[in-house]
């Protein structure tokens, strides 16, 4: 089982304060408050006494050159309360408060970057990975990088402006990237320098999955291993879904050969398409309703497979799940049903009658959902990228009502950093890939939960609120094991 590493505990040293007292920095400074939010200070950061949350927020804002806008209206605009309870509700006012407290942005820009890991730390990490995973196979590094290096095509810019009445076809609007990893690519039989590959699950022994989970020659970060394991955990749930649904509905099921769907059939069907992918088709309304209910189950199951999420308080877990379920569901819809083309279905009069008439925002969101599926097909994110994107969507520190914001903020930052490092090392020939993946995550947040409920779940759950259904699904004992 992978271990999630929390930030290191600082060694205890003695630091003089303004009052001349000696205070241990191993803990927070109990007698000095943060000059920004009033929480307990952990020492001087960028020229003032501040807590870890405010100093980290200031550092990220300056490093990324972020510009925030206060959403308050009228006389309250620019005057949002910044205290321990409300500091995460308005980033614009929080950053302004940091500057008012005389935080020095030059100290952020000139500070040294992260230290490189020591050689003995890498060796010990490799030993730990080998102990955790009993299966080690040999794979040539050439199969992980040379598959797509000669077939890169220029990609179109993201569709920022979408017309709600325009018919959007994936094969017309988007020029797909080559597959990140060929579906039936096998490593060379002879390799001059084989590289050990650590598989995240002992039952996954196919060459195909080995190629899909190869990241780089360096050991994977612990959080990335957890996310990859959570993605693999869904394969067991996928077998349940595939037994009830039309086989064309679940595209990525073919990435995992089974007794009923062997590798030979994968090779035959994927060879029909010039891009190596399954041809698109339009599902019926009944297929849509039946499958999306099970995809929601998969999203909840994925959250259950994340050990870091279980370390958060139960109340915060439910708040994050209720906040992010729409994005998680759409990611699962795009990931596991990427061969769908729901444009024709959404234009059907019978389907339109189930949705509000003359509702321009809803119409735009329907087109945006199809654009998300098309963009996902174009980029074809692998398991590692999908896991990081879901983690970025799940760990949302801006969620109102959270009891502990800082751990969630740390998890989201780690997921973003891992996504950047993973994509750059895995796909060095696609420098714009990480930007497109992050834009895709931004698209997900533009779709309201009401539209998703009305379109995909109204006929299966009726008037039952999705939030209540999510709580019941998440707390059911059979989902834990």
Domain borders along the chain are 43-107, 223-247+283-475
Structure tokens at 222: 């612990």
Question: Rounded distance, CA 58 to CA 321, Å?
Answer: 27
> Exposure of 22 by Cβ count < 10 A (0-12 exposed, 13-18 middle, 19+ buried)?
exposed
Helix 405-426 to helix 383-394 angle, to the nearest 10 degrees? 160
Report which of 346, 338, 242 is spatially closest to residue 298, judged by C-alpha positions.
Answer: 242
DSSP code per residue over 414-439? HHHHHHHHHHHHH-TT-TTHHHHHHH
pLDDT < 50 stretches in the chain: 1-30, 113-220, 236, 239-278, 477-481
pLDDT at 135: 30
- Distance, in Å, from the CA atom of 437 to the CA atom of 418, rounded to the nearest integer, reads 13
pLDDT at 112: 52
Nearest CA-CA partner of 276 in 225, 338, 322, 324: 338
3 state DSSP class of 225: helix
pLDDT, residue 78, reads 84
Gap between the Cα atoms of 342 and 330, Å rounded: 13
And the tokens for 306? 């994340």
Q: What sign does the dihedral 294-295-301-303 (CA atoms) show? A: negative
User: Which residue's structure tokens are 């999306």?
Assistant: 292
pLDDT of residue 327: 92
Query: Could you tell me if 46 and 107 are in contact, meaning their C-beta atoms sit under 8 angstroms apart?
Result: yes
Cβ-proximal residues to 127 (8 Å cutoff; 6+ apart), any chain: none
Give helix 405-426 / helix 222-244 axis angle, nearest 10°: 80
Q: Cα–Cα distance between 67 and 212 in angstroms, integer?
A: 37
Instruction: Count the neighbouring beta carbons within 10 Å of the beta carbon of residue 45.
Output: 24
CATH of domain 223-247+283-475: 1.10.565.10
161 Cβ neighbours under 8 A, 6+ residues apart: none
3-state secondary structure of 262: coil
Helices 314-336 + 285-304 axis angle, to 10 = 130
438 three-state secondary structure: helix
Report how far apart, in Å, the C-alpha atoms of 366 and of each of 295, 370, 373 are: 18, 7, 11
Fold of the domain spanning 43-107 = Erythroid Transcription Factor GATA-1; Chain A (3.30.50)
Residue 77: strand pairing partners: none
The candidate with the shortest Cα–Cα distance to 455, out of 301, 333, 297, 339, is 333
Selection from 234, 219, 213, 200 nearest residue 1 by Cα: 200
Q: How confident is the model at residue 320, as a pLDDT?
A: 92
- Rounded CA-CA distance 390/31 in Å is 40
What's the pLDDT at 175? 39
3-state secondary structure 138-168: EECCHHHHCCCCCCCCCCCCCCCCCCCCCCC
Structure tokens belonging to residue 39:
């929480």
Q: How far apart are CA 13 and CA 25, in angstroms?
A: 6
């Amino acid at each position: 089982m992978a271990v999630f590493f929390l930030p290191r505990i600082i060694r205890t040293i003695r630091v003089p304060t303004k009052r001349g007292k000696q205070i241990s920095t191993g803990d927070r400074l109990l007698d000095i408050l943060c000059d920004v939010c009033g929480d307990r200070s952990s020492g001087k950061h960028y020229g003032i006494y501040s807590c870890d949350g405010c100093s980290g927020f200031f550092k990220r804002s300056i490093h990324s050159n972020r510009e925030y806008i206060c959403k308050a209206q009228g006389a309250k605009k620019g005057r949002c309360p910044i205290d321990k309870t409300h500091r995460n509700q308005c980033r614009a006012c929080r950053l302004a408060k940091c500057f008012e407290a005389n935080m020095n942005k030059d100290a952020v820009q000139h500070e040294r970057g992260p230290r490189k890991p020591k050689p003995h730390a890498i060796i010990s990490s490799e030993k730990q990975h080998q102990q955790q995973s009993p299966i080690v196979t040999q794979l040539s590094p050439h199969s992980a990088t040379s598959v797509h290096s000669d077939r890169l095509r220029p990609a179109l810019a993201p569709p920022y402006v979408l017309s709600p009445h325009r018919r959007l076809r994936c094969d017309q609007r988007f020029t797909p990237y080559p597959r990140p990893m060929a579906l039936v690519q096998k490593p060379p039989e002879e390799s001059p320098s084989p590289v050990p590959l650590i598989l995240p699950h002992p039952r996954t022994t196919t060459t195909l999955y080995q190629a899909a989970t190869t990241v780089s020659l360096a050991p994977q970060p612990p959080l990335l291993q957890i996310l990859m394991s959570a993605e693999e955990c869904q394969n067991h749930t996928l077998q349940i879904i595939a037994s009830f649904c039309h086989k064309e509905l679940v595209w990525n099921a073919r990435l995992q050969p089974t007794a009923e769907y062997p590798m030979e059939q994968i090779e035959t069907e994927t060879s029909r398409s010039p891009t190596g992918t399954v041809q698109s088709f339009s599902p019926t309304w009944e297929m849509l309703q039946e499958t999306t209910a099970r995809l929601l189950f998969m999203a909840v199951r994925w959250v259950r497979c994340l050990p870091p999420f279980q370390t958060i308080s139960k109340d915060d877990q439910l708040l994050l799940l209720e906040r992010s379920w729409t994005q998680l569901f759409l990611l699962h819809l795009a990931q596991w049903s990427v061969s769908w083309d729901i444009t024709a279905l959404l234009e059907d009069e019978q389907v339109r009658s189930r949705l509000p008439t003359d509702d321009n925002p809803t119409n735009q969101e329907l087109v945006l959902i199809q654009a998300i599926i098309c963009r996902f097909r174009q980029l074809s994110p692998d398991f590692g990228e999908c896991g990081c994107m879901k983690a970025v969507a799940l760990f949302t520190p801006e969620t109102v009502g959270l009891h502990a914001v800082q751990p969630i903020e740390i998890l989201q930052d780690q997921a973003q950093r891992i996504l950047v490092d993973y994509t750059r090392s895995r796909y060095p020939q696609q420098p714009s890939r990480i930007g497109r993946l992050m834009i895709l995550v931004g698209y997900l947040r533009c779709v309201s939960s009401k539209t998703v409920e009305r379109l995909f779940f109204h006929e299966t759950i009726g008037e039952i609120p999705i939030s209540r259904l999510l709580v019941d699904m998440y707390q059911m004992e059979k989902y834990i094991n």
